[in-house]
Structure 1
Amino acid sequence: MKVIRVFPRKTSATPDDSSVRIRTMPTLFDEADEVHISTTFTWDLQWTEKAVKQWRGVGRVKVGGPAFYEEGGEFTPGMYLKEGYVVTSRGCPNRCWFCSVPKREGYKVRELKIRDGWIVMDDNLLACSNEHIENVFNMLKRQKVRPIFTGGLEAKLLSRKMAEKLKELKPQRLYFAYDTPDDLEFLREAGKYLRESGFSEKSHCLRCYVLIGYKGDSELKAFKRMQETFEAGFMPMAMLYRDDSGKYDNHWRKFQRQWANPIITYCNCNKYFRDKKNSRLELYC
């Protein structure tokens, strides 16, 4: 059965084979039994509605994706994520106010059949059972490419033993998160465990998303969180908050660009945080 997959926008994880279409309407040459429109962001739903009407003439249309807040199914490698990406579990037990995962998955973690891949995109891998985590790590050890954890590593759940197991994988990058004030102490402890396990700050393997731009936030507060993240042992990476409409302040977009590009962020860390003799906040202001 021939399936055409349509995506409202391209990301680094979007498949790039010949059956993929990016934000396009059908042409006379498009033929398929089914058309799957996969929508990740809620601000693309309006475009998705228009696309459904247009693609009906090509084949049976199915619509899905995180934007619809529907529970995800089993993971099929290469279908909606590029080859190499893998999802081994869905869901998270936390109730973070800004997160859409509980809206579509509830507050329980579902462990999926483990497929091969090296870029792990679980919602909260460390919330899974020890047996599942061990099986995921064994799968990653079989891969020819060093693994990347794009998220799903909750600092609160990281133990010293788990840090050692992560080190054994020789990962390219690990991404944690600093979303709310109570994350900081756990992030500091996680950084300590990871360094004691052999991770080096100079390798830039340890990274951390820092949520910015939400109501009540300020540039100075956000900068302070960047500093705290760096001092905990992680390279800070700004993650701009956007509501269901996708709106954001252009001022925050400018700030994010200064703290989301790895090269620029590395330079900023050297500029503001390396010299312990100076007050980094004063330098920034």
Structure 2
Amino acid sequence: MVWPKKMVHWTENNTAYLSVPFTWNLPEAYSRCVWYQQLGFQVRAGGPAVELMPNYLSGLADVGGHVDALRRHNPNATFTSRGCIRNCPFCAVPKIEGALVELRDWEPKPIVCDNNLLACSLRHFDTVVDTLKHLADVDFNQGLDARLLKQHHIDRLRELHLHCVRFAWDNIHLESTVMNAIDRLLAAGLPQSKIRVYVLVGFDDTPDDALYRCQTLKDRGI
């Protein structure tokens, strides 16, 4: 299933729920809150955009609390951990989710949305792999941290029916780390077609810098 790159909303009894992933969805969310209020619903709103800008919907919706909205965005998605050990200045995860926490109870689904799975303990990582072994098209959708990739991770990843493995090349200084991670996966037998890399463009870089990273990956067939 393709992710809807927009707000999702639904009703349960007399409550309307909005889950807003991106800040550019907030104007639409505002209008939807007004519409639901006019219909007589109580309105609750959440999601990353609301966490970052809670005052935007002030007076229109109750903000905060936990509602499991992930399945509304993609029924094949799950989290096995929350948060991250990094504090990247371009990333909202530290503000929204805080420190890394391994979840004890999570639903086995092929799309794993953890923000830094490799920062989890090896025991947790092994549990994730063992739980997902029977599923097809396993995808660690938010990417794996190339700086933390161990041989143990590679060996276990080979046991999965992978859709792909994703890394991120956020700045030029990570070149050797990202290239090394790619080389190690290829050496372990992962097809080149199953390796993908996110490239961050427009944050503390130059057009030449961004082009170099994109072209380097293209030249490698990634």
Q: Shorter chain as normaliser: what TM range?
A: 0.7 to 0.9
Deviations 1:65-88, CA, capped at 9 Å, x for gaps: 01123798585762x332211111
Write the distance in 2 (CA, Å) between the matches of 1:229 and 1:63.
39
Change (3 A) 1:207 1:223: same
Q: Deviations over 1:246-274 (max 9, x none)?
A: xxxxxxxxxxxxxxxxxxxxxxxxxxxxx
SS of 2:158's equivalent?
Answer: helix
Which string of whole-angstrom CA distances, capped at 9 and with x for unpartnered residues, describes residues 51-103 of structure 1? 2122122422110001123798585762x332211111111111111111111
The answer to whether residue 142 in structure 2 is matched with residue 151 in structure 1 is yes
Matching residue of 2:121: 129
How far apart are residue 31 of structure 1 and its match?
A: 7.9
Q: Over aligned residues, Cα RMSD in angstroms?
A: 2.7
1:47 corresponds to: 28
Among residues 14, 20, 23, which one is paired with 1:33 in the alignment? 14
- What's the % identity of the aligned pairs? 31
Structure-to-structure mapping, 1:96-175, within 5 angstroms: 96-106=88-98, 108-112=99-103, 113-143=105-135, 145-175=136-166
1:180: which partner in 2? 171
What residue number does 2:210 align with? 222
Paired residues of 2:138 and 2:161 also in contact (CA < 8 A): yes
Q: Secondary structure at the match of 1:61?
A: strand
Q: Secondary structure at the match of 2:179?
A: helix
Amino acid at match of 2:197: C
**Structure 2 matches for 1:223-238, cutoff 5 A?**
223-230=211-218, 235=222
Contact 1:155 1:190 in 2 (8 A): yes
Larger Rg: 1
Q: 1:58 to 1:141 in 2, by over 3 A?
A: farther
Q: Determine the C-alpha separation between the residues in 2 that align with 1:45 and 1:230.
A: 35
| Partner secondary structure for residue 200 of structure 2 | strand
Runs (4+) of structure 1 exceeding 4 A deviation are: 70-77
The runs of 5 or more residues in structure 2 that have no matched partner are 53-63
**What pairs up with 1:51-130 in 2 under 5 angstroms?**
51-56=32-37, 57-69=39-51, 73=66, 78=71, 80-106=72-98, 108-112=99-103, 113-130=105-122
**Are the equivalent residues in 2 in contact too, given 1:126–1:152 (CA < 8 A)?**
no
Task: Work out the CA distance in 2 between the residues paired with 1:95 and 1:105.
Answer: 11
Residue 189 of structure 2 corresponds to 198
Change (3 A) 1:74 1:37: closer
Distance 1:75 1:205, change over 3 A: farther
* Number of residues of Structure 1 aligned to a counterpart in Structure 2: 207
Report the Cα distance in structure 1 between the residues aligned to 2:101 and 2:221, rounded to whole angstroms. 29
Q: 1:124 to 1:164 in 2, by over 3 A?
A: same
Amino acid of the residue matched to residue 211 of structure 2? F
Query: Under a length normalisation based on structure 2, what TM-score does the superposition of the two structures give?
Result: 0.82
Q: Secondary structure at the match of 2:133?
A: helix
d(CA) in 1 for partners of 2:88, 2:106:
27
Distance change (3 Å), C-alpha of 1:176 and 1:72: farther
Calculate the TM-score normalised by the size of structure 1.
0.65
